[in-house]
Amino acid sequence: MSLQGKRIVVGLGGGIAAFKAVELVRELMRRGAEVRVVMTEAATHFVGPITFAGLTGKPAVTDLWAEDYAGEVHVELGDWADAIVIAPATMNLMARASSGQANDAVLATLACARGDVFFAPAMHARMWSHPAMQSNIQTLRARGAVVLGPVTGPLANGEIGEGRMMEPEDIAEAIESHLVHSDDLSGSRILITAGPTHEDLDPVRYLGNRSSGRMGYAIASRAQHRGAEVTIVSGPVHLPVPSGAEVVRVRSAEEMHAAVMSRFEHFDVVIMAAAVADYRPERRATRKIKKGKSLKLELVRNPDILADVGAKRARRPSVLVGFALETENLEQSARDKLERKAADLIVANEASAGLGGDTNRATLVDAATATPLPEMTKRALADQVLDRVRTLLNNSSQRSRLETEHEAPN
């Protein structure tokens, strides 16, 4: 009964996959959740509200004007729910949600959500790949919603494509792993570096790299969600800052170095996800460099922030995590880096996966083990890294307790 005590609103849009919402409600209840259902008018054409009333013991809300709901049922449900999951989420429903409309029971409840919001899209593959749909999805994600699926498989008309709603059991599983992690990092302070650095050549030009910053921000968002106090030292990126996190904006490797070195001793965990430029131009021209026949640049080494924290750390941080992008000998190179930079964990990415995508394939390397993970979203990888961080934190607090006991006079 892993969702014991959790309150979940299931909101249905009008799509053929609505029949699967019946199984979703049952699955959530089987796991111990208390469930309420809201439906758009269109959804009632696919499955009857009575079915849900029978399952949950509460009427399904279909119409904000119905007399049974004296008061503001959408506000009440928004307050009540730990999570709201829209399944099936149709193209139309998500377009309306992304533009902030609240003209039916499902959207009005979403607008009042206090807890986490999940969408399980279901539509034809061409609708899913439509630019309007994709930009609405980005908007919803940027506001913190979690999009589950869709998956590739047979669609309503028999074609095979990406647009099929995730199976109810998988949706329940994803919601559970999202909700039950909450708070397991509470009381820890975590510093995360993210994004690229820009090394200025002159007032208008710089050397940089293609890092999007999404991996670091995903870790920040998940750590925040799991109860940690989070500070992001961020290179130049345009990503929403997870609500509640502190952000320190920097531009160059030297600025990032200064920001981290002046702070790291106050943190239990430091995670270096930034793609720091290894070199910077020896001189930064004060005026724009005029073009000539050719241009020779002299580059000098930047400080290695991870290695410096590794070398200077005493009691804090208890856990130091670095990233590595490797093209060959992944495990061995990562292990060398682990030792050289005195880190506790290296998240080693295969360079073939490239920078800037939505997914990552990584191997987690610590002093004793190397764990290859399958390809997964950056958000899922963030949780895997944080699971490991939590274990390392527990080990280190056990160690320091034993040391204190050992040192204490009898």
Catalytic site positions? 209
**Is 350 in contact with 361 (CB distance < 8 Å)?**
yes
Closest to ligand CTP by CB, 26 vs 251, is 251
CB of 49 to ligand CTP, least distance (A): 52
DSSP structure class, residue 278: S
CB of 324 to ligand CTP, least distance (A): 4
CB of 106 to ligand CTP, least distance (A): 42
The number of beta carbons lying within 10 Å of the beta carbon of residue 331 is: 14
Closest to ligand CTP by CB, 17 vs 306, is 306
CB of 336 to ligand CTP, least distance (A): 8
d(CA 380, CA 181): 12
| Tokens describing residue 131 | 């630019």
The interface region with ligand CTP, picked from 127-135, 286-294, 300-308, 357-365 by CB under 6 A, is 300-308
Residues 192-231 that bind ligand CTP (CB under 6 A): 193
363 belongs to the binding site for ligand CTP (CB under 6 A): no
Closest to ligand CTP by CB, 109 vs 234, is 234
Q: Is residue 81 exposed (0-12), middle (13-18) or buried (19+ Cβ within 10 Å)?
A: buried
How open is the CA angle 102-379-137, to the nearest 5 degrees? 30
Residues 301-340 that bind ligand CTP (CB under 6 A): 302, 304-306, 322-325, 337
The interface region with ligand CTP, picked from 74-82, 149-157, 273-281, 376-384 by CB under 6 A, is 273-281
| Tokens describing residue 209 | 């790299």
**Is 238 in contact with 195 (CB distance < 8 Å)?**
no
CB of 340 to ligand CTP, least distance (A): 7
Cβ-Cβ contacts under 8 Å for 335 (sequence gap 6 or more): 346, 365, 370
CA 226 centroid distance within chain: 11
The interface region with ligand CTP, picked from 132-140, 198-206, 274-282, 361-369 by CB under 6 A, is 274-282
253 belongs to the binding site for ligand CTP (CB under 6 A): yes
DSSP structure class, residue 196: B
Q: By CB under 6 A, name the binding residues for ligand CTP.
A: 193, 253, 272, 274, 276, 278, 302, 304-306, 322-325, 337
